Amino acid sequence: MDQLTALLDGPRAHGAFLLRSLLDPPWSLRIQDEAPLSVIAQVQGESWIRFDDGEPVRLEPGQVAIARGPEPYTVADEPGTKPQVVIHPGQHCTTLDGEVLYQTLDLSLRTWGNSADGGTVLLTGTYNLEGEVSRRLLEALPQLIVQPGGPIISLLGAEIVKDEPGQEAVLDRLLDLLLIAVLRAHFATNEAPGWYQAMSDPVVGKAMRMLHNNPAHPWTVAALATEVGVSRAALARRFTELVGEPPMSFLTDWRLALAADLLREPDATIGSVARKVGYGSPFALSAAFKRVRGVSPQGHRSATAAGAK
Does 172 share its domain with 127?
Answer: yes
Say what the pLDDT of residue 257 is.
Answer: 86
Does 185 share its domain with 218?
Answer: no
Distance CA 150, CA 19 (A): 19
Q: For residue 300, which of 308, 249, 4, 140 has the smallest C-alpha distance?
A: 308
Say what the pLDDT of residue 285 is.
Answer: 95
At residue 265, the 3 state secondary structure works out as coil
Integer Rg of the chain from CA: 22
Boundary residue ending a domain (151, 167, 189)? 189
Q: What are phi and psi of 82, to 5 degrees?
A: -75, 145
Distance CA 55, CA 67 (A): 14
Say what the pLDDT of residue 306 is.
Answer: 63
Say what the pLDDT of residue 132 is.
Answer: 46
Does 178 share its domain with 237?
Answer: no
Does 167 share its domain with 216?
Answer: no
State the greatest distance between any 2 C-alpha atoms of the chain, in Å, as a whole number: 67
Instruction: Tell if the pTM clears 0.75, that is, is over it.
Output: yes
Residue 11 has pLDDT above 50, yes or no: no
Say which residues have a Cβ less than 8 Å from residue 210's Cβ, sequence separation at least 6.
219, 224, 227, 228
What is the edge-to-edge ordering of all strands in the sheet holding 63-68?
106-108, 111-113, 17-23, 120-127, 37-44, 63-68, 144-148
Please, which pLDDT band fits residue 309 given cuts at 50, 70 and 90? low
> Which residues in 114-227 belong to E strands, given as ranges?
120-127, 144-148
Q: What is the CATH number of the domain that holds 82?
A: 2.60.120.280
Tens digits of per-residue pLDDT, 216-251?
999 999 999 999 999 999 999 999 999 999 999 999
CB neighbourhood size of 214 (10 A)? 11
Instruction: Give Cα separations from 134 to 99, 140, 220 (angstroms).
Output: 36, 10, 24
Does 155 share its domain with 14?
Answer: yes
Does 288 share its domain with 183?
Answer: no
Does 176 share its domain with 253?
Answer: no
Instruction: Decide which of 167 and 49 is more confident.
Output: 49
User: Could you tell me where the DSSP H helices lie in 69-140?
Assistant: 102-105, 135-140
Q: What is the CATH number of the domain that holds 270?
A: 1.10.10.60
User: What percent of the chain has pLDDT above 70?
Assistant: 90
Say what the pLDDT of residue 137 is.
Answer: 74
Residues in the chain: 309
Instruction: Decide which of 84 and 265 is more confident.
Output: 84
What's the domain count of the chain?
2
Say what the pLDDT of residue 47 is.
Answer: 98
Does 184 share its domain with 237?
Answer: no
What's the average model confidence in pLDDT over 281-309? 84
Boundary residue ending a domain (155, 171, 189)? 189
Boundary residue ending a domain (162, 189, 216)? 189
Does 206 share its domain with 302?
Answer: yes
Does 113 share its domain with 50?
Answer: yes
Mean pLDDT of the chain: 88
| Prior bond of 26 cis (ω within 30°) | yes
Say what the pLDDT of residue 264 is.
Answer: 81
Terminal C-alpha separation, the chain: 31
Does 112 share its domain with 183?
Answer: yes
Say which residues have a Cβ less than 8 Å from residue 128's Cβ, sequence separation at least 6.
16, 17, 35, 36
Instruction: Decide which of 183 and 105 is more confident.
Output: 183
Distance CA 202, CA 199 (A): 8
Tens digits of per-residue pLDDT, 56-101?
999 999 999 999 989 999 999 999 999 999 999 888 889 888 888 7
Does 82 share its domain with 126?
Answer: yes
Say what the pLDDT of residue 265 is.
Answer: 83
Distance CA 274, CA 285 (A): 6
Tens digits of per-residue pLDDT, 110-165?
998 999 999 999 999 998 765 544 677 777 889 999 999 999 999 999 999 998 88
Say what the pLDDT of residue 65 is.
Answer: 97
Range of the domain at 251: 197-308
Instruction: Give Cα separations from 96 to 38, 84, 121 (angstroms).
Output: 22, 6, 23
